[in-house]
A and B are shown apart, each in its own frame.
Chain A
Amino acid sequence: MALPLHATTSERIWHYTFLTICVLIFGFLIIPILVIIPLSFNAQPYFSFTPEMIAFDPAGYSTKWYETFFNDSNWQAAVRNSIVIAIFSTIISTFLGTLAALGLSQKDFPFKTTVMGLLISPMIVPLIISATGMFFFYAKVNLLGTHIGVILAHAALATPFVVITVTATLTGFDHSLTRAAANLGSSPTNTFFRITVPLITPGVISGALFAFITSFDEVVVVLFVGSVNQRTIPWAMFSGIREEISPTILAVATLLICFSIVLLFMVELLRRRNERLRGITPY
């Protein structure tokens, strides 16, 4: 991408214009996220920068919205609900999804495309339709307003991510390793646990992270299928934005951004480890 020495003037002008455009678009992508962080320390209950904040006057900043968040029982209940629901749905979806991916990646799986399409359909169908369907059905089987109902719903929504990630990992899997193990006398179970599992673990963990974030961040299905007892963090934020818009929302948002950064970091680490193990180095 570097400007070659023989570039004409018009090419130079275009090159720098192009870079400027890219900087602006990157700004569009990242500034909305970064702007929340200082706003959450606003001493006044406004959603904008006060003159004291711009002058970096310490009186304009305060951590009181964070204190409100940690001390408020509604918010803490929402945190507990979010974590519990996300953990259980991640366990279910990772388990089922990994098994399915292992089955799908065998050679000559019958009707592979159709089955694959069916298994990832929760990801394709718009969330509102899934939520509507689940609402009607759960109303009939009395699962509305229960933790189990929400966990099952989230697990259904999260499995496609696990299936896709683990299938992608398995496409590069060298099946001759399992044949070599069988040749050397290993039983199928032994081969599975000592050869296959260590090799697919990064992919499975990646899928589990996707599943976790899908459930943690999900709000439409929870709104329809859950009751107030299952209020999760996104639901609390949704009602908060609709009703009072207090800057506590911004404090929660900043905490969630930090959480996303941690998750992003973990996924990147796994991806690089995966590439390194397969001999593709980024450098």
Chain B
Amino acid sequence: MAQSNTTDLKTADGISLKLSLQRSLRRKKRNALLLVTPLFLFIIITFIIPIAYMLVRSVDNGITAEILPTTVPLLAKWDPLLGETPDEDVYKAFIVDGKVAAKAKTINRLGKRLNYEKSGISSLFRKTGRKLRKLEPEKLTTSHKDALIKIDKKWGQVETWEVIHRESGPYTKSYFLSAVDMEYDANGIQWKEEDSRIYLNLFKRTLWLSFLITFLTVLLGYPIAYLLATLKTSTSNLLIILVLLPFWTSLLVRTSSWIALLQKEGVINDFLFAIGLISDDGRLAMIHNQMGTVVAMTHILLPFMILPLFSVMKTINPSYVRAARSMGATSFTAFRRVYFPNTIAGIGAGGILVFILSIGYYITPALVGGTKGTLISNFIAYHISGSLNWGLAAALGTLLLLLVVALYILYDKIVGIDNMKLG
């Protein structure tokens, strides 16, 4: 069957070899894609779409147009910079919409939403809603404008209408502005007052604590990884269990054991008191503060640093260090100039992993952080279940996500996603 001219080669069923090969390669590729598709679709639906929806919620502002359908288009024609209150037709439309909303009980939702922009609007809307229920527009003797201002004089102020005007579009920047401690002011977008600035401080605190935790895990993890990498394999297999057991133990178990250890009446304080180092009133406050968060999270994240470092160190050839020693280096110099530079990739990989994990942590800071040791994730959770300001929660979440994506790209450049191994 073989001929010197390859374009004439045919397979057993008479088709050209080249064509047959192309077909079978295409089929293999198609089969490979088919295998991946179920999981791909599953992740898109259960994970990617929810996250995208969160991004949408951070700017979504359909509520104003939904609750004041006729007022919003009329208000859009008003120019707040002219310094005068809107015209009579806006007031008329507002009374109509307001009555409907008051009856459907949705007016308070809008009041609450606009209260994030300017405090006092929530109570204004509540009061107006109550009064509007009894108001009958057909029987008015004065203009609608005067009637509304009579209900509350804030309706005669430009600032009130300015807020509604600004927040009537389908999208809003205000959640993101809040998330970075800015707000709208008479002069445009400004920083908030000193005492209301919490989020930037929170981001700073989260980044700083995470950095500290990463540094501590490198400090504590490096000797252990070195020991495990240089011991005989049988011994290191036994000792690595001491690293893997914390890794496999439930997060809550580890956190509760730190509570038991660090509390005022806990094991460590009892021990120090029993040996006389501290008095009964002088018990150390090691928990429900930043120290609790740092200590507990260092413990929890230490295996994530040790394992990548260990796998990098295992690949370093021991004869390099021996060669350095044989050429006259002291053991410290050999370590500093030969061994350590080879481990930097491992430190980078483990470090970024620990850092990414710690900026997103919620459970441990919630349980042992007190008020000063909480991180950004605790506030996101607070806005979801506590203050119900979902837009702000979504905005904070989006900022956190962007930060993590940036770090992840960095991780990919240093290590490569394909190189991740577990266990």
Q: Is B29 an interface residue (CB 8 A)?
A: yes
Once the chains are docked, how many angstroms separate the CA of A210 from the CA of B420? 15
List residues of B (217-267) whose CB comes within 8 Å of A's CBs. Answer: 220, 223-224, 227, 230-234, 237, 239, 241-246, 248-261, 263, 265-267
The answer on a CB contact under 8 Å between B258 and A156 is no
Once the chains are docked, how many angstroms separate the CA of A219 from the CA of B46? 18
Cβ-defined partner of B233 (8 Å) among A261, A267, A283: A283
Nearest CB of chain B from residue A23's CB, rounded to whole Å: 10
The proximity string for A residues 103-131 relative to B, scoring 1 for CB distances below 8 Å and 0 otherwise, is 11010111011011111111011111111
The answer on a CB contact under 8 Å between B39 and A155 is no
The answer on a CB contact under 8 Å between B253 and A121 is no
The answer on a CB contact under 8 Å between B250 and A234 is yes
Q: Is A195 an interface residue (CB 8 A)?
A: no
List residues of A (33-50) whose CB comes within 8 Å of B's CBs. Answer: 33, 35-36, 39, 46-49
Residues of chain B contacted by A197 (CB below 8 angstroms): none
Residues of chain A contacted by B394 (CB below 8 angstroms): 132, 136
Nearest CB of chain B from residue A7's CB, rounded to whole Å: 9
Residues of chain B contacted by A132 (CB below 8 angstroms): 54, 380, 384, 393-394, 397
Nearest CB of chain B from residue A217's CB, rounded to whole Å: 5
Once the chains are docked, how many angstroms separate the CA of A138 from the CA of B54? 11
Q: Which residue on chain A has the smallest CB distance to residue B408?
A: A124
Segment from A58-66, A67-75, A245-253 that makes contact with B: A245-253
Q: Which residue on chain B has the smallest CB distance to residue A282?
A: B233
The answer on a CB contact under 8 Å between A32 and B36 is no
The proximity string for B residues 365-381 relative to A, scoring 1 for CB distances below 8 Å and 0 otherwise, is 01100000000010011
Residues of chain B contacted by A129 (CB below 8 angstroms): 51, 54, 360, 397, 400-401, 404
The answer on a CB contact under 8 Å between A109 and B47 is no
Once the chains are docked, how many angstroms separate the CA of A210 from the CA of B220? 26
Once the chains are docked, how many angstroms separate the CA of A104 from the CA of B251? 32
Residues of chain B contacted by A110 (CB below 8 angstroms): 29, 33
The answer on a CB contact under 8 Å between B223 and A25 is yes
Once the chains are docked, how many angstroms separate the CA of A210 from the CA of B422? 9
Q: Which residue on chain A has the smallest CB distance to residue B243?
A: A29
The answer on a CB contact under 8 Å between B251 and A106 is no
Once the chains are docked, how many angstroms separate the CA of A282 from the CA of B266? 42
The answer on a CB contact under 8 Å between A256 and B249 is yes
Given A36-B256, A155-B42, do A127 and B227 touch, yes or no (CB 8 Å)?
Answer: no
Given A18-B223, A152-B46, A224-B384, do A35 and B256 touch, yes or no (CB 8 Å)?
Answer: no
Cβ-defined partner of A33 (8 Å) among B52, B246, B408: B246
The answer on a CB contact under 8 Å between B246 and A30 is yes
Residues of chain A contacted by B224 (CB below 8 angstroms): 22, 25-26, 29
Once the chains are docked, how many angstroms separate the CA of A47 from the CA of B251? 18
The answer on a CB contact under 8 Å between B270 and A96 is no
The answer on a CB contact under 8 Å between B39 and A96 is yes
The proximity string for A residues 245-283 relative to B, scoring 1 for CB distances below 8 Å and 0 otherwise, is 100011001001100110110011001000000000011
21 A-B pairs whose Cβ atoms sit less than 8 Å apart in the complex: A1-B231, A33-B254, A99-B39, A109-B33, A109-B36, A118-B43, A119-B40, A120-B420, A121-B48, A124-B356, A128-B362, A133-B53, A136-B57, A156-B43, A156-B47, A237-B252, A237-B253, A241-B255, A253-B256, A256-B250, A271-B423
The interface of chain A, by Cβ under 8 A from chain B, is 1, 11, 14, 18, 21-22, 25-26, 28-30, 32-33, 35-36, 39, 46-49, 92, 96-97, 99-100, 102-104, 106, 108-110, 112-113, 115-122, 124-138, 140, 152-153, 155-156, 159, 161, 163-165, 168, 206, 210, 213, 216-217, 219-220, 224, 234, 237-238, 241-242, 245, 249-250, 253, 256-257, 260-261, 263-264, 267-268, 271, 282-283
3 cross-chain pairs, A with B, having the tightest CB-CB distances, nearest first? A126-B360, A103-B35, A137-B50
